[in-house]
Structure 1
């Protein structure tokens, strides 16, 4: 049993292996939620700015919404979705705009819009008691929703390996390693690499599903198309939201993450009134992949507290 209040728990372990009619909403401020009551893979709703958002809706029981990171899609949660459905949960896995099967508009490229998409889907599906789980960029999309719309309908929060402030400066040194205002433009356009090359080799069960490191979707993603979104992601500071998150929360990182300092993740957990941190010893940025079995076991324990 873990104690709450910013405790660090290090884990060693390896894994074993609807459709809505397309409509442009124009200036209306309500999402088109007609036709999103069906369940199954690749369901659709139309956001309030007319963008088609695709999601999976599987299982029955308490609701968990999975929000992937930058350049990924809803299939990122391969090792969690079936496990959670079989454990008695309803799983909503979203393709964020400009990702996966969802539309890829040039407009709405800001974190606030990504947060609003999450809120509109929660409202459109009439969900309550939702556990929100984000990875990387997806964590800050959830924080954007909290900032805009509060916490109604949310029962728990899971943040996997993401700092609330990416940019390092004289007041903050726990953003992405090596990212600062002096190097910002080269790094946000990927002309200069950021982070540290600490990511361990993918274990066999990850390679079987997602391929080798050289097949990472990040490398084939159109980063230039979402340049405005990346700028917004890099410069926005979400630290003031953290003390407002009073629902039970679980903060997750990997010992070998190339992006974030463990001290920063400890600080993150300490800012939330009802949170704890787990550090996975065999993982980098993707504990839900590398330590899938241990991650799933702790997630289930967290959900049942």
Structure 2
């Protein structure tokens, strides 16, 4: 793993493999950069340089008590691109990693962004009369304390048992258990709460780059319709629905890789 230091003195780790056009991978809540290994393998074989970031509090990165906000995570991504000297990249985020990408674009713009891939992340977590595509059961009335004990079960999607095979395949490829982090610490709870209150729809609509919205048809967290609606409201939006749960990149890596590589070729990258 390589490291760099953010502008608030936090040491973050990242993977750097391959050569060619840059694709940056940002994993979701609790997940380390190594959970992208199946995508990393496919992208490197296809001629890309892959940079995979461990966000603060995740993987091998430092876990400070401060900075548990999506705004800070977006700034960390900006610091990362600057530290490694990336001028142009496709940014690919899974779950909260996708929200990190939108946070970066909200404050920094798209001058260094060739395209965006979102893997199963609704742009608005809270459901209301105009947006029924958020986290199951999350509303303005329930948001306070909703994630106080971590991510609640929703009764949707594949069971925990059904998810064991993809995890086993991941462990076999990595030859180790991926270093997942607990949601029980105050910073992680604060991060979940801040994430739940965000609305990235306007940022996505305003983004002047190609966007691929990948969604798991059987996501445990939200309806896959979020991807269809979001892409429809963008100038350069595309959709790929995968027969998987939330962690589509691990559940169905071949299908996700095909969708991503097709998207990259389609935008001439």
TM-score, normalised via structure 2 length: 0.90
Q: 1:255 aligned to 199, 205, 217, which one?
A: 217
Task: Give the CA deviation at 1:287.
Answer: 1.6
The gaps in structure 1 that reach 5 residues or longer are 1-41
Counterpart residue number, 2:52: 93
Question: 2:9: which partner in 1?
Answer: 50
Q: 1:293 is matched with which residue?
A: 254
Residue 238 (1) aligns with residue 197 (2): no
**Is the Cα contact below 8 Å between 2:154 and 2:220 reproduced in 1?**
yes
Question: Is the contact made by 1:84 and 1:91 (CA closer than 8 Å) also made in structure 2?
Answer: yes
CA distance in 1, matches of 2:71, 2:101: 9
How large is the Cα RMSD of the aligned pairs? Answer: 2.1
Using the TM superposition, give the Cα deviation of residue 277 of structure 1 relative to its aligned residue in structure 2, in angstroms: 0.8
Which one of 92, 95, 110 corresponds to residue 151 of structure 1? 110
Aligned partner of 2:238 in structure 1 is 276
CA shift, 1:216, in A, is 8.9
Residue in structure 2 matched with residue 112 of structure 1 by the alignment: 71
Q: For residues 174-194 of structure 1, what are the alpha-carbon distances to aligned partners after superposition, in whole Å with 9 as ceiling and x for unaligned?
A: 110111233223421127825
Q: Aligned-pair distance for 1:80?
A: 1.0
CA distance in 1, matches of 2:126, 2:113: 28
Q: Which runs of 5+ in 2 are unaligned?
A: none
Q: 1:203 to 1:227 in 2, by over 3 A?
A: closer
1: CA distance between counterparts of 2:75 and 2:114?
Answer: 18
Please tell me whether the aligned partners of residues 187 and 194 of structure 1 are also in contact (alpha carbons under 8 angstroms): no
SS of equivalent residue, structure 2 residue 102: helix
- In 2, the alpha carbon distance for the partners of 1:104 and 1:192 equals 20
- Scaled by the length of structure 1, the TM-score of the pair is 0.79
Q: Whose Rg is larger?
A: 1
Change (3 A) 1:219 1:138: closer
SS of residue in 2 equivalent to 1:228: helix
Does the aligned pair in 2 maintain the 1:178–1:194 contact within 8 Å? no
Task: Provide the C-alpha distance between the structure 2 equivalents of 1:202 and 1:141, rounded to a whole number of angstroms.
Answer: 25
Q: What is the CA-CA distance between 1:208 and the residue it aligns to?
A: 3.0
Question: Do the aligned partners of 1:98 and 1:104 also contact (CA within 8 Å) in 2?
Answer: yes
Aligned equivalent of 2:26, options 42, 67, 70:
67
